[in-house]
C-alpha cells in the first residue's frame, strides 16, 4: 500500500504543488486548509507523515504539532515536517521542540522534500519492515592528525547527518576526556551529566545510559566529556571498552571524537572501532603526522582496511592538491569534506552545527554525502586487532 501523507497548508497553490509532487511519487495525499482541520484529519485516521505549514488559521503549525504529540503519548509517532518561510534558527528550534522531526524553508526543491520524506518514513517504519539497516552498534572513531583540522566539527556533523538524513539512532561520545569541546560546540552548560556519571555508578548498563545521555535538539544522544580536566582521570581504558560495548546494543552508530594522543586509552578506542577515520588537511605538517600515524598503526598490527583518511577543507587552496597528498602518503584519501570557512566558523560560534541549522548548504550536503558513504561501508571485524604482527 502507498503511504498516506497529510498536507496542512492554507495556500491553494502550495496545496496543488505538493499534491502533484507527492502523487507523482505514488503517495496518497489528503489536504487540510487550516490547523484545526489538519488536527481533525490526523485524529480520524493517522497518516504515515504530516507536512505542516507554520502560518495557519485557527491553529498554527506549532500548536498542531504539540497537540499531535500530546495525543500520541507513547503509542506511536507520526513524523512531521514543518514548512516555514522563516530561516531563523530560533524558529526552526521552536518547531522541533513543538514536535516536528524536520523542517524545510520555503521555497524548497521538490527533490529535497521527497528525500526528507523517504528518510523519515524509513526511520519511523516498524522495525520488522525496515530493510538495509546497518548492523547494530557500529563504532566510528574520529582522530585528528593534528590540532585544528576540524575533527570535532566533522564528528558532530557526521553524527547528526547519520540520524537526520538516514534515520539512524546515534550516540556521539566526546572522548577528549580532559578538554572536550562538545559542550561549547553544542551550546550546553557544565551542569549536564557526563561520562563521569557513568564510571562512578555502581554498575554500567542500558538503564544507566538512558539517564546519563544528553538529548540534543537535533535528535542525537550525547555522552559528554568530564566537566573539568581533573575528573578525566576517573575514566580508564577498561571503562571505555565497557561503555562502547554497552552502547553497541542501544544504537545503530556510536560516533567517538578522540583526542590527539596515541596512548593506551585511545588505542583501546581504536581497537573497539569498526572504522577509524583519520581527519587531515592538505598541508605539510599534517601530511607528516598522518604518515607517522599510519606507520604506528601498521607496526602494532592495525588492519589497513579499518583506517579511512578524511581530507577536510578539500577544496581550500593550500598548494597541495588531493593527488599530491595521496602521492606523499602512498595511499588513497577515502573521503572529502569541502571547505566553507564562514559557515563552519559561524556554526562554531553559535553552538548550532551546520547539519542542524543549515543542512541544505554546500557544507551540509558534503556531510550528507559523507554519511551516505559511511552507511555503504562493509562492517569490519573488531576486537583483538592491536596485536604486534608475527615476526
CATH of the domain at 270: 3.40.50.300
* Cα–Cα dist 343/245, whole Å: 35
Contact 152, 185 (CB under 8 A): yes
Report the SS3 class of residue 31. strand
- Peptide bond before 258: cis, by omega within 30 degrees of 0? no
Q: Sign (positive/negative) of CA torsion 2, 29, 46, 220?
A: positive
If asked whether residues 224 and 163 sit together in one domain, one would say yes
Indicate the DSSP class of residue 78.
Answer: -
Same domain, residue pair 256 and 359: yes
CA atoms within 13 A of residue 55's CA, in its CB half-sphere: 8
Give a yes or no: residue 381 inside a domain.
Answer: no
Q: Which residue among 129, 154, 187 closes a domain?
A: 129
State whether 246 and 268 are in the same domain. yes
CB 315 within 8 A of CB 293: no
Residue 126's pLDDT is what? 56
Residue 383 falls within a domain, yes or no? Answer: no
Q: For the beta carbon of residue 351, count every other beta carbon within 10 angstroms.
A: 14
Residue 199's alpha-carbon distances to 12, 31, 92, 205, in angstroms, are 57, 52, 36, 11
Is the domain of 106 the same as that of 208?
A: no
Q: Quick one: 188 and 266 in the same domain?
A: yes
For residue 317, give the 3-state DSSP assignment: coil
pLDDT in tens, the chain (391 residues): 478 999 999 999 999 999 999 998 889 999 999 999 999 999 998 899 999 999 999 999 999 999 999 988 766 789 999 998 876 777 778 888 888 988 888 888 888 888 888 878 877 765 444 444 445 689 999 999 888 899 999 999 999 999 988 888 999 999 999 999 999 899 888 889 999 999 999 888 888 998 999 999 888 999 999 989 999 999 998 999 999 999 998 899 999 999 988 888 899 999 999 999 999 999 999 999 999 999 998 888 888 889 999 999 887 777 888 899 999 999 999 999 988 777 777 777 777 888 888 888 889 889 999 999 998 876 655 544 444 333 3
89 within domain boundaries: yes
Residue after which a domain boundary falls, among 129, 149, 183? 129
| 47 plus 101 within the same structural domain | yes
Alpha carbon 345 to chain centroid, angstroms: 19
**Distance between CA 316 and CA 46 in Å, rounded?**
48
Residue 359 lies in a domain: yes
Are residues 287 and 257 part of one domain? yes
122 and 142 fall within a common domain:
no
pLDDT of residue 74: 63
Indicate whether 108 and 181 sit together in one domain.
Answer: no
If asked whether residues 238 and 365 sit together in one domain, one would say: yes
78 and 165 fall within a common domain: no
In a domain, residue 290? The reply is yes
User: Does 358 reside within a domain?
Assistant: yes
Integer Cα distance of 141 and 310 in angstroms: 12
Domain assignment of residue 19, given as a range? 4-129
Return the pLDDT at 86.
73
Apex 3 CA angle, 100 and 372, nearest 5: 65
Single residue among 100, 129, 158 that ends a domain in this structure: 129
Which residue is listed with cell 539512532?
A: 169
Residues 161 and 90 in one domain: no
- Long-range CB pairs of 189-198 (<8 Å, 24+ gap) are 190/227, 192/224, 193/224, 194/223, 194/224, 194/225, 194/226, 194/227, 195/223, 195/224, 195/225, 195/226, 195/235, 195/239, 195/243, 196/226, 196/227, 196/231, 196/234, 196/235, 198/223, 198/239, 198/243
Residue 172 resides in a domain: yes
Domain count within the chain: 2
Tell me the C-alpha distance between 381 and 195, whole Å: 26
In a domain, 389, yes or no: no
Whichever domain contains 40, its CATH number is: 3.40.50.2300
Residue 329 CB: number of other CB atoms within 10 A?
15
Task: Tell me the residue length of the chain.
Answer: 391
Amino acid at each position: 500500500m502507498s503511504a498516506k501523507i497529510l498536507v496542512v497548508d492554507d495556500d491553494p497553490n502550495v496545496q496543488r504543488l505538493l499534491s502533484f509532487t507527492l502523487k507523482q511519487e505514488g503517495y496518497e495525499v489528503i489536504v487540510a486548509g487550516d490547523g484545526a482541520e489538519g488536527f481533525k484529519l490526523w485524529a480520524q485516521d493517522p497518516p504515515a507523515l504530516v507536512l505542516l505549514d507554520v502560518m495557519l488559521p485557527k491553529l498554527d503549525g506549532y500548536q498542531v504539532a504539540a497537540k499531535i504529540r500530546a495525543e500520541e503519548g507513547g503509542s506511536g509517532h507520526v513524523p512531521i515536517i514543518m514548512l516555514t518561510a522563516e530561516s531563523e534558527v530560533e524558529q526552526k528550534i521552536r518547531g522541533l521542540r513543538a514536535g516536528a522531526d524536520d523542517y524545510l524553508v520555503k521555497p524548497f526543491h521538490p527533490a529535497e522534500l521527497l528525500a526528507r520524506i523517504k528518510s523519515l518514513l524509513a526511520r519511523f517504519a516498524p522495525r520488522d519492515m525496515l530493510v538495509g539497516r546497518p548492523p547494530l552498534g557500529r563504532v566510528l572513531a574520529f582522530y585528528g592528525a593534528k590540532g585544528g583540522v576540524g575533527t570535532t566539527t566533522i564528528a558532530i556533523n557526521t553524527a547528526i547527518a547519520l540520524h537526520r538524513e538516514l534515520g539512524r539512532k546515534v550516540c556521539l561520545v566526546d572522548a577528549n576526556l580532559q578538554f572536550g569541546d562538545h559542550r561549547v560546540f553544542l551550546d550546553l552548560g557544565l551542569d549536564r551529566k557526563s561520562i563521569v556519571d557513568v564510571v562512578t555508578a555502581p554498575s554500567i548498563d542500558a538503564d544507566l545510559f538512558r539517564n546519563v545521555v544528553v538529548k540534543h535538539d537535533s535528535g542525537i544522544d550525547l555522552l559528554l566529556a568530564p566537566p573539568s580536566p581533573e575528573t578525566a582521570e576517573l575514566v580508564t581504558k577498561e571503562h571505555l571498552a565497557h561503555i562502547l560495548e554497552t552502547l553497541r546494543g542501544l544504537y545503530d552508530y556510536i560516533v567517538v571524537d578522540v583526542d590527539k594522543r596515541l596512548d593506551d586509552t585511545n588505542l583501546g578506542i581504536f581497537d573497539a572501532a569498526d572504522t577509524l577515520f583519520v581527519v587531515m588537511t592538505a598541508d605539510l605538517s599534517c601530511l607528516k603526522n598522518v604518515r607517522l600515524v599510519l606507520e604506528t598503526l601498521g607496526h602494532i598490527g592495525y588492519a589497513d582496511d579499518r583506517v579511512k583518511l578524511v581530507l577536510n577543507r578539500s577544496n581550500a587552496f593550500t598548494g597541495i592538491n588531493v593527488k599530491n597528498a595521496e602521492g606523499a602518503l602512498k595511499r588513497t584519501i577515502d573521503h572529502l569534506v569541502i571547505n566553507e570557512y564562514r559557515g563552519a566558523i559561524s556554526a562554531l560560534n553559535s553552538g548550532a552545527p551546520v547539519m542542524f541549522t543549515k543542512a541544505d548548504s554546500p557544507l551540509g550536503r558534503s556531510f550528507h554525502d559523507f554519511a551516505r558513504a559511511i552507511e555503504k561501508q562493509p562492517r569490519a571485524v573488531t576486537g583483538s586487532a592491536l596485536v604486534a604482527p608475527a615476526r
